[in-house]
Structure 1
Amino acid sequence: MNQKEIAKKAGVSVATISRVINGEEGVSQEKRQKILELLDKYAYVRDINAKNLRTSRSKAIGFLISNFENPFFVSMYQGLEAVCRKNGYNIIIGNTNEDIRQEQEAIDLFLSYRVAGIVASFVDPQETTLRKIKNFGSNIIALDRQQKNIEADTVTMDSFAGAKMQVDYLAGLGHKRIAVIHGTTTNLPGEERLNGYMAAMEEHGLEVLPNYVASGFFNEEEAYAATVQLMGQNPRPTALITHNNLMCIGAYKALKDLNIKIPQDVSLIGFDDFDFADYLEPSLTLIDRPLKTMGEIAGKMLIERIEGKYSGKARLVVFPAKLRVNHSCARAERIIQE
């Protein structure tokens, strides 16, 4: 909905709408509030390029990520950027820091630049954001984090199977006291990974102890604190699972600071690769996936939508989980007990 239509519904001039949007004076508080409510209701987004781009979108693509510090997104960006560059598109990055408000601001930024499409690793899209996305159309790809409430092409991995694979491997090494540091469960991958852990523990007849389950909120600092808490239990776990790479780094640092040796004192297994995982001492066993390829496929699917080469129902691409065995896990009987 444009300014003229908003003005008609509010019973004011387009100039008044413009003053409110631009934060200018000369509008009563009552009228300003009414206009702001209408702008929100109809998911109006200011177009900073309106003078030049009234009839067409830009050659830019928005890339919504949840954490600049996560090497996970660097690998995906490399794949996405290669495809976009080849097809003449530039990328605008929006970082949410796993924050709902910042997610809304990033979406507004993308739409104000009239991006041709959006590749997004959503936090938890709110109703206002969902309306804006719906009004934007089908040129949205959900990358990694599949959404229950958004009809969009999705590129992801079988998170449930990956989390089960972690437990299966450790159970095969004889571990029974297996702790987990899980991520945010308000998004589907976080929920599926925790469910995968629970299901695998049940399949192996292993008890899930509440004090062996901690949230690391998909970030390094929280995982560090969670590791200190978990390793302070009596008896303490013989194996520790993390559900993303930042949490694995946090757990690794905490174990080092606690002088708890890997894998002599505790086995550690991660989720998602990062550049130096193979160069740590010991090198990390983890669930691996082709992040660069996922970025490439997301880019290709989005450009197909933008250029009208595909206009069908939402597509779902799911990569299988793959375990990469290194040296951070040992058989349970080799774990030194306190």
Structure 2
Amino acid sequence: MSTIKDVAKLAGVSVATVSRVVNRSPRTSEKAIKAVTEAMEALSYRPNANARALVSQTTQTMGVLVGDVSNPFFGAMLKSIDLVCRDQGKHLLIGNGYHEADSEREAIEILINSRCESLVIHSKGLSDQDLTKFCKEVPGLVVINRQLDEVPERCISLDNYKGSYLATEYLLNQGHRDIAYICSEHDIEDADSRKQGYRDALAAHGVSPQEHAIACGYPDEQGGEKAMRDLLSRGVSVTAVAAYNDYMAAGAMACLEESDIAVPEQVSVIGFDDGLISRYMKPRLTTIRYPIQPMAEQAARLALQLAQGSSPESSPHVFVPTLVKRNSVKPLTH
């Protein structure tokens, strides 16, 4: 494998001149650029990214932490961030945290050690104190889908409580009173906020929330199916179900179908996220839109601006969820 010394020797220049060409220094003559470029091509020399970063004090990468890259929600988030980065001539380095504190911490430290000046972090396992510490260490770090009291200007989030309240209130306005809730078993802020939104919407309409009408599972199709099966086995009287996300709603609907319970004729179902799956289910899923694409774009732009020394706005960036009406909810008729 060729080295920078081999390139310098073939080009007839110094190692320092090769380094200036590699790092696109303006203090390099056209003659030197031509000689070094031809020598690099002849030797199939590939500059070391870490070495270039040491010279330029920057890299052309943005670090992103997600829960699980195989989850379509994070796929949509990454695509939006990548579009912003490509427009700025940057590329992504991605770490999975799996909502576990140790995994998230290790992934963030790897991204920092890889000299990513801009970071977009989706963390549910680390404490507020840990994330705030990382924010103070890395000026270009932005937290998405979470609020931190000490650095609210570095956070992009959604009002999860309002979204779940909106979903439950819509079911109530359709005449439903026996409304079950399928929640995520993860001990994270999103799950707590959405469950509380469900409870408070019921209470505001004079319906006492019943704990036996709440079932938890892993936040995917299998978890939603399991939670719905738990509710049916308990003999819970239910005319409508609100789910933590669209995938749990899909699992719940599959369980209802297997139990010969028609959706929405016998039980209405509402999801959360408005992911791609919601438009192609049968019936098409009524849900709460989580605007992850514009949120991710804003997080990426903010991270790049902060890394360049710009001052963030003092107020937090909180997005508002909206209701998407489709065919999985039907008014209750007596």
TM-score range (shorter-chain normalised) is 0.7 to 0.9
Hey, what's the Cα distance between the residues in 1 that align with 2:49 and 2:272?
41
Question: How far 1:235 sits from its partner (Å)?
Answer: 3.8
Hey, what's the Cα distance between the residues in 2 that align with 1:288 and 1:127?
26
Residue 87 of structure 1 aligns with an amino acid whose one-letter code is Q
Question: How far 1:172 sits from its partner (Å)?
Answer: 0.9
Hey, what's the Cα distance between the residues in 2 that align with 1:101 and 1:253?
35
Hey, what's the Cα distance between the residues in 1 that align with 2:127 and 2:290?
29
Question: How far 1:230 sits from its partner (Å)?
Answer: 1.1
**Hey, what does 1:196 align to over in structure 2?**
197
Gaps of 5+ in 2: 1-47
Question: How far 1:198 sits from its partner (Å)?
Answer: 1.2
Q: Deviations over 1:72-100 (max 9, x none)?
A: 22222222111111011111111122222
In the TM superposition, 1:203-242 aligns within 5 A as 203-242=204-243
More moved, 71-80 vs 134-143: 134-143
**Hey, what does 1:332 align to over in structure 2?**
332
- Find the residue that maps to 2:250 and give its secondary structure: helix
**Hey, what does 1:7 align to over in structure 2?**
none
Question: How far 1:259 sits from its partner (Å)?
Answer: 3.0
Structure 2 residue 61 is matched with structure 1 residue 65: no
- Residues 263 and 269 in structure 2, CA contact (< 8 A), matched pair in contact too: yes
Q: Deviations over 1:161-213 (max 9, x none)?
A: 11111111111111111111123564333222111111111001112111111
**Hey, what does 1:319 align to over in structure 2?**
319
- Find the residue that maps to 2:278 and give its secondary structure: coil
In the TM superposition, 1:243-262 aligns within 5 A as 243-262=244-263
- Find the residue that maps to 2:333 and give its secondary structure: helix
**Hey, what does 1:15 align to over in structure 2?**
none
Hey, what's the Cα distance between the residues in 2 that align with 1:131 and 1:296?
22
In the TM superposition, 1:67-106 aligns within 5 A as 67-106=68-107
Question: How far 1:134 sits from its partner (Å)?
Answer: 4.4
- Find the residue that maps to 1:237 and give its secondary structure: coil
Question: How far 1:135 sits from its partner (Å)?
Answer: 5.4
- Find the residue that maps to 1:214 and give its secondary structure: strand
More moved, 162-171 vs 250-259: 250-259
The verdict on how the C-alpha distance between 1:114 and 1:226 changes in structure 2, with shifts beyond 3 A counting, is: same
Question: How far 1:62 sits from its partner (Å)?
Answer: 1.3
The verdict on how the C-alpha distance between 1:237 and 1:147 changes in structure 2, with shifts beyond 3 A counting, is: farther
- Residues 140 and 306 in structure 2, CA contact (< 8 A), matched pair in contact too: yes
The verdict on how the C-alpha distance between 1:313 and 1:124 changes in structure 2, with shifts beyond 3 A counting, is: farther
**Hey, what does 2:122 align to over in structure 1?**
121
- Find the residue that maps to 1:53 and give its secondary structure: helix
Hey, what's the Cα distance between the residues in 2 that align with 1:165 and 1:128?
31
- Find the residue that maps to 1:179 and give its secondary structure: strand
More moved, 262-271 vs 252-261: 252-261
- Residues 120 and 143 in structure 2, CA contact (< 8 A), matched pair in contact too: yes
Hey, what's the Cα distance between the residues in 2 that align with 1:312 and 1:141?
10
Give the TM-score taking structure 1 as reference length: 0.77
- Find the residue that maps to 2:230 and give its secondary structure: helix
Question: How much is the aligned-residue C-alpha RMSD, in angstroms?
Answer: 2.5
More moved, 191-200 vs 228-237: 228-237
- Residues 138 and 152 in structure 1, CA contact (< 8 A), matched pair in contact too: no
Hey, what's the Cα distance between the residues in 2 that align with 1:67 and 1:254?
25
Question: How far 1:124 sits from its partner (Å)?
Answer: 2.0
> Which structure shows the higher helix fraction?
2
Question: How far 1:148 sits from its partner (Å)?
Answer: 4.8
**Hey, what does 1:36 align to over in structure 2?**
none
Residue 327 of structure 1 aligns with an amino acid whose one-letter code is N
Hey, what's the Cα distance between the residues in 2 that align with 1:256 and 1:67?
29
More moved, 215-224 vs 242-251: 215-224
Q: Deviations over 1:240-298 (max 9, x none)?
A: 11122332232233223333221122110000112232222100000013321111111
- Find the residue that maps to 2:182 and give its secondary structure: strand
**Hey, what does 1:304 align to over in structure 2?**
305
Hey, what's the Cα distance between the residues in 2 that align with 1:240 and 1:195?
15
The verdict on how the C-alpha distance between 1:67 and 1:252 changes in structure 2, with shifts beyond 3 A counting, is: farther
The verdict on how the C-alpha distance between 1:252 and 1:69 changes in structure 2, with shifts beyond 3 A counting, is: farther
The verdict on how the C-alpha distance between 1:49 and 1:63 changes in structure 2, with shifts beyond 3 A counting, is: same
- Residues 246 and 272 in structure 2, CA contact (< 8 A), matched pair in contact too: yes
In the TM superposition, 1:19-30 aligns within 5 A as none
Question: How far 1:152 sits from its partner (Å)?
Answer: 5.5
Q: Deviations over 1:19-59 (max 9, x none)?
A: xxxxxxxxxxxxxxxxxxxxxxxxxxxxx976553462322
